[in-house]
Amino acid sequence: MAGKPNRSGRIGERGRPGNLCRQAARGVATPAGEVQVVCAFDPETFAEIREMAVRTRTSFRAQVRLLVEFGLEDIKLADAEPRRI
């Protein structure tokens, strides 16, 4: 699937799994003061996140934010724990 030209004029490889050679997104500031990015999920992950959002009666967007926050906290805790050899 051919992508659209990006700011550099090059054609990106949108929708290709494992394409990690791009720079990290800078995001776009929203009027509410948040930074917004576009993110894609495989169908199984999307369905799982959507089901969680439906169960908790939240939006898909709010559920993704919550999962990311939990993931970041887990990483911080893992980095802070002393390593056992």
Angle, CA of 24, 74 and 49, to the nearest 5°: 70
Structure tokens at 9: 């004029």
pLDDT of residue 37: 93
Residue 20 located in a structural domain: no
**What is the model's pLDDT at position 1?**
43
Domain assignment of residue 69, yes or no: yes
Distances (CA, A) of 44 to 39, 48, 50, 51, 82: 15, 6, 10, 11, 35
Q: 25 vs 70, which has greater pLDDT?
A: 70
Q: Within a domain: residue 62?
A: yes
Supply the range of the domain harboring residue 66: 43-85
* pLDDT tens, position by position, 44-81: 999 999 999 999 999 999 999 999 999 999 999 988 88
| pTM for this predicted structure | 0.66
**Structural domains counted in the chain:** 1
Residue 29 resides in a domain: no
